[in-house]
Amino acid sequence: MGDIRQVIAQRASQEVCDGMIVNLGIGIPSLIPDYIDQSIRVLFQSENGLLGFGPTPLNNPDGALCNAAGYPVSIVKGGSYFDSATSFGMIRSGRIDLAILGALQVNMNGDLANWIVPGKRVPGVGGAMELAYGAKNLIALMQHCQKDGRPKIVKKCTLPITALSCVTKIITEMAVFEVVDSNLNLVELMPGYSLEDVKNNTEADFNISSQLYN
Amino acid sequence: MDKFNKVVDYEFVKSLFFDKMTLLFGGFGGVGTPPSLIDCLIDSGVKNVHLIGNDAGFPWIGMGKFIVLGRAKSLVTSHIGSNPVAGELMNKGALAVEFSPQGILTERIRSGGVGLNGFLTEVGMGTILAKNKPVVKIENKEYLYEAPITGDIAIVHAKKADKFGNLIFDKTARNNNPLVAKAGKITIAEVDEIVDMGALDPEEIIVPGIFVHYMVPSGGINWKWVWET
């Protein structure tokens, strides 16, 4: 289980490119920085008012220097602090190149559900709706199926959605999909999984990209 | 109130709190929530309080400490996941929770604090959070109307202030404090270090003291952060 999360995070880290401003959600996305090549210049944005956070300090963590999950971080050269209105101003106005968020369900045309399971899990929406609205690209990370085996990539989201048509890519332990013009394209199989595995565990219809066989 | 020396004691602050008040609070996961004012709120005995803030903190951190006592009637917030007790109270019907997207909540507070009448946004369109919100159509495009928020009292935590109430914050403990500070009919700042007027560099002031009514000296963070436990 822990392993699967690391596999997904490692694959997702390849989506972070030199020059990007990136926002990482809680859960699997928060594991990504460990896998990013040191030579890549990137600034991570955190909703609580920090652009340019770095790793957890080894000594003397500061209770007033935290990420959005409340854990201590550091600030990199060129980093800045600002209030929440400015923070979400960046997010809504399209200044974030890439948001990588955990997901509960994604459907065929890129609708995202990731904030509530009515009657069960009600953590609250946090900044997800605005990241989904404003980020130039949004990658959804999740395990391919629920614990009971039901698919999470569905024809239609049964959970309350976060935002419509916002996901541009889905990465699971089985496969990578791109959402193009409201269609799902399977672009990559993850190590150890076959096309049959993906077909058997995906409810949504999808096209198979020609690049899959390259 | 002495406009040029707004420092008061906690007994006075207690007398400002009242049952059924609307209380805005600064902080994000407890970072930037004023610790001594939370204790003062608890000691004051007030109940049926309407809370508005970013999140429900943790059961032992920030506004979470007050919420777990069951003396909040309602909470407008973006997140309660770090405080399971808030979730239990909500499910029992003991705490009415209204969720708002995080930055939209901040912007509603900002709007209230700066004399505006709300704003239009596409964020939340097509979701269950759009329910009961007015939809405005302009040039064939639909937007949600988000209403401004103000509070009877607003409480914030600042790192440094002068006696007029010009405020400076500490790194990510700033978060929504500058917006919350503007939206209280009475705004109370808990401050780590209070200096004389003239001792702050005007360029570094984040909230001008005109928005602040009272200040109390901070007793410092009195909880263990989640990463310390």
Kindly list the catalytic residues of A. Answer: 47
Residue B66 scores a pLDDT above 70? yes
DSSP tag of B223: S
Percentage of chain A exceeding pLDDT 70: 98
Is A2's pLDDT higher than 70? Answer: no
Contacts of A66 in chain B (CB under 8 A): 29, 31, 172
Per CATH, the architecture of A2-36+92-213 is what?
3-Layer(aba) Sandwich (3.40)
Residues of A with CB under 8 A from a CB of B: 46-50, 61-66, 68-72, 75, 81-85, 87-89, 91-92, 116, 122-130, 133, 160-164
**Does the structure show a pLDDT above 70 at B107?**
yes
* DSSP-assigned letter for residue B70: T
For residue range A22-48, list pLDDT tens digits in order: 999 988 999 999 899 989 999 999 999
**Which CA distances in Å does A141 have to A11, A99, A128?**
10, 11, 13
Q: Report whether CATH 3.40.1080.10 matches the domain B10-116+149-217.
A: yes
- List Cα–Cα distances, A62 to A23, A198, B31, B227, in angstroms: 21, 44, 11, 11
Mean pLDDT of chain A: 95
Going by pLDDT thresholds of 50, 70 and 90, the confidence category of residue B100 is very high
Burial label for A207, CB within 10 Å (0-12, 13-18, 19+), is: middle
Give me the pLDDT at residue A150, please: 97
Q: What is the ipTM of this complex?
A: 0.97
- Where does the pLDDT of residue A121 fall: very low under 50, low under 70, confident under 90, or very high at 90 and above? confident
Residues in chain A closer than 8 A to B29 (CB atoms): 48, 66, 68-70
Q: Do B99 and A124 count as a contact with CB atoms less than 8 A apart?
A: yes
Question: Which amino acid, one-letter code, is at B3?
Answer: K
> How much is the pLDDT for A214?
52
Q: What is the pLDDT of chain B when averaged over all its residues?
A: 97
Q: How far apart are CA A11 and CA A13, in angstroms?
A: 5
Answer yes or no: do A48 and B29 touch at CB < 8 A: yes
pLDDT grade for B1, boundaries at 50, 70 and 90: confident
Is B181 in a helix, a strand, or coil?
A: helix
The closest of B31, B66, B37, B88 to B216, measured between CA atoms, is B37
Q: How far is A100 from chain B (nearest CA, A)?
A: 17
- Helices in B117-219 by DSSP H: which ranges? 177-182
Count Cα atoms within 13 angstroms, Cβ side, for A93.
7
Task: Give the span between the Cα atoms of B74 and B57, in whole angstroms.
Answer: 15
Q: How confident is the model at residue B143 (pLDDT cuts 50, 70, 90)?
A: very high
Question: Among residues of chain A, what percentage have pLDDT more than 90?
Answer: 88
Interval B24-60: pLDDT, tens = 999 999 999 999 999 999 999 999 999 999 999 999 9
Cα–Cα distance list, B155 to A2, A9, A138, B17, B113 (Å): 41, 39, 35, 11, 13
pLDDT at B186 over 70: yes
